[in-house]
Structure 1
Amino acid sequence: MSLGQKLAWDDSVLPFQLDASDIRGRVARLDGVLDGILEQHSYPPVVEALVAEMAVLTALIGQTIKLRWKLSLQVQTKGAVRMIATDYYGPTEEGEPARIRAYASYDADRLNDAAPFDQLGEGYFAVMINQGKDMTPYQGITPIAGGSIATCAEAYFAQSEQIPTRFELSFGVSTEADKPHWRAGGVMLQHMPKASPSVTSEGSGEDGLLTPSDVVGEGDDAENWTRANVLLDTVEELELIGPSVSPDTLLLRLFNEEMPRVYDAQPIRFGCTCSEDRVRQSLSIYSAKDIETMTTDEGRVTADCQFCGSHYDLDPKSVGFEANA
């Protein structure tokens, strides 16, 4: 089986628990989802790599949100890649797939030959959860630091949630089947402490940020966490994204003595929520005079979705709160 073929475990997240270690986690594999995200744009490879990393992180973190909830991850920086934004929409019904979308904005003339993370500058990594109508959205942020977006996510969980969290990710372009396309995979571990550890304000990470080891606690918790991380360190790139090792087999290879228990996998699809009705709703706060300033020389009001590339072309007289009935 080649990497170009669709696999049964592609575009899914498999939750699991290590019963011997009081650790939970997820295994993610993305293929067609990344195609859906990236084919909408002509990103340079270095930007594609950052979007792929954000997408697999979003899939791993998003699997825990409830039906109809929305998780958003966002990177905002002063670097060449100014923003990366992802949205994960929980399934609308039990058994239905979750949906994910992503986009990036960047200054092409500032990109260089350095590693993808080096295209980011000073800024922040944010996690936002929208629980639905009449609920206050949650937001947590942490500075960009640590050498990867995954490390930023680990710092977020340590700082904001006091939960030791580890990500091991792999992503790249497959050239199998004469059609280059991106694949990504990853494992997420979280140690659930029996009680909140005593944590000082100064962490051991870059710029004093907390790290997973700072919040893991002591005794058996620390020993279990260290052992699981040592085992995860042995994972190989092809085990994360290749066609030969299914997620459940991967867990047995890595954590056999930790008694892994798997749950139902969550399928994921590329999906965007934009629509003409949403565009009209967003314009409904503007007067006819405001709409006039948005009207093109051709006499139309246009809008483009940054996530999926959809183009909307509207009659200016039909939008805004003074629109013709």
Structure 2
Amino acid sequence: MNLGTRIAWDDTVLPFQLDRTDTRGRVARLDGVLRRVLAQHDYPPAIEALVAETVLLTALIGQTIKLRWKLSLQVRGDGPARLVATDYFAPTEDGGPARIRAYASFDEQRLDPSGEPFPQIGKGYFAVLIDQGPGTTPYQGITPIAGDSISACAQTYFAQSEQLPTRFALSYGQTQLPGEPMHWRAGGVMLQQMPEASPLMQGGGSGEGGLLAAEDIMDGDAARDWEHVNILLDSADDIELIGPSVQPTELLVRLFHQDGPRVFDPQRVEFGCTCSPDRVRQTLSIYSAKDIAHMTTDEGIVTADCQFCGAHYEFDPKTLGFEAKDDD
């Protein structure tokens, strides 16, 4: 495979369906978008790993939802890794790219640089937020931090909140191609079983802390099909998931050739942030002139920095808040 073929699959999400088992899924490969996300910050490797995993999950989950605007994932904990937040913005036109941004907050004094990343989140929650834009009511689903990874938290969320059996197989890490510097790369597969009717579970499940797991919401043929495709996915190597030497279509044929894999148009993804001076003004429009005065620096300006992309904004305080004056 030549370099051009490898690059063609980078920063894409490929939807697919397994016709025999009524399973849908996505294959994602992230390279440039992940570089751009991480380049905005100087995170320790443990935090970079958590961001990489969450960005990859966001790309896979965002493409499954018919969005008009934004999907957000948030991982909040009481450990040194306090927050990982991502946003997925749906394409604004047919054939256009989706955009992803992300940032993390952490306590540098408490962080163990050589420790495993996930346990440093501690106790907290995994949240999915869907905003379809003006005139709609945002949706929010929350499940506790559970399992041994952020992807395990996402699987619990879909079982608990959506009654939808879901599995992620992810790979991410620093890699290097000939003639290139070391950089982060990520890839993975998402599977979702689509039973004809998921039973509505009451009470506790078999997951951690009594949470629902995939096996709690399936029976009969659907359960057997789910076990079958999971066994096949377990055989995927990290190098097959992360690429770039194995194309997503080749991976699907190797794993699921007996189950009738059918692919659809891939979705391009890129780094993108929606911050702007107008959005900052809108955010600050709820404050009074007295509040704005408290935000004003000794130099007589109000500053704002975007946590996602690092953009820096400066404003005349008289133009901010609900008592603002026109900046003529």
Alignment match, 2:21: 21
Please list, as runs of the form range in 1=range in 2, the aligned pairs for 1:288-299 lying within 5 A after superposition.
288-299=289-300
2:187 is matched with which residue: 181, 185, 206? 185
Alignment match, 2:77: 77
> Which stretch has the larger CA shift, 241-250 or 54-63?
241-250
Alignment match, 2:209: 207
SS at 1:7's partner residue? helix
Matched residue type, 2:61: I
Please list, as runs of the form range in 1=range in 2, the aligned pairs for 1:73-222 lying within 5 A after superposition.
73-112=73-112, 113-176=114-177, 177-215=179-217, 217-222=218-223
Q: 1:67 to 1:124 in 2, by over 3 A?
A: closer
Structure 1 stretches lacking a partner, 5+ long: none
CA contact (8 A) 2:171 2:187 kept: yes
How many Å separate the matches in 1 of 2:103 and 2:3? 25
SS at 1:108's partner residue? coil
SS at 1:238's partner residue? helix
Query: Deviations along 1:90-145, whole A, 9 cap, x unmatched?
Result: 11111110001000000011111221101111100000111111111111111001
How many Å separate the matches in 2 of 1:302 and 1:197? 52
Structure 2 stretches lacking a partner, 5+ long: none
Aligned residues: 324
How many Å separate the matches in 2 of 1:56 and 1:4? 22
Q: 1:201 to 1:24 in 2, by over 3 A?
A: same
CA contact (8 A) 1:56 1:184 kept: yes
Matched residue type, 1:292: A
Alignment match, 1:254: 255
Matched residue type, 2:153: C
Matched residue type, 1:211: A
CA contact (8 A) 1:4 1:174 kept: no
Matched residue type, 1:301: V
How many Å separate the matches in 1 of 2:196 and 2:322? 54
The reply to whether residue 12 of structure 1 matches residue 12 of structure 2 is: yes
How many Å separate the matches in 1 of 2:189 and 2:3? 19
Alignment match, 2:234: 233
What's the TM-score once normalised by structure 2's chain length? 0.95
How many Å separate the matches in 1 of 2:214 and 2:158? 8
Matched residue type, 1:218: D
CA contact (8 A) 2:175 2:182 kept: yes
SS at 2:64's partner residue? coil
What's the TM-score once normalised by structure 1's chain length? 0.96
The reply to whether residue 280 of structure 1 matches residue 281 of structure 2 is: yes
Alignment match, 2:54: 54
How many Å separate the matches in 2 of 1:294 and 1:118? 36
CA contact (8 A) 2:70 2:88 kept: yes
How many Å separate the matches in 1 of 2:81 and 2:136? 32
Matched residue type, 1:81: A
Query: Deviations along 1:26-61, whole A, 9 cap, x unmatched?
Result: 000101110111000000000000000000000000
User: Segments of 4+ in structure 1 off by > 3 A?
Assistant: 1-6
How many Å separate the matches in 2 of 1:4 and 1:203? 47
Percent identity between the aligned chains?
Answer: 66
Q: CA deviation at 1:146?
A: 0.3
CA contact (8 A) 1:65 1:90 kept: no
How many Å separate the matches in 2 of 1:258 and 1:282? 50
CA contact (8 A) 2:10 2:244 kept: no
SS at 1:190's partner residue? strand
Q: 1:178 to 1:265 in 2, by over 3 A?
A: closer
CA contact (8 A) 1:173 1:180 kept: yes
Query: Deviations along 1:161-201, whole A, 9 cap, x unmatched?
Result: 11100000000001333411110001000001101225342
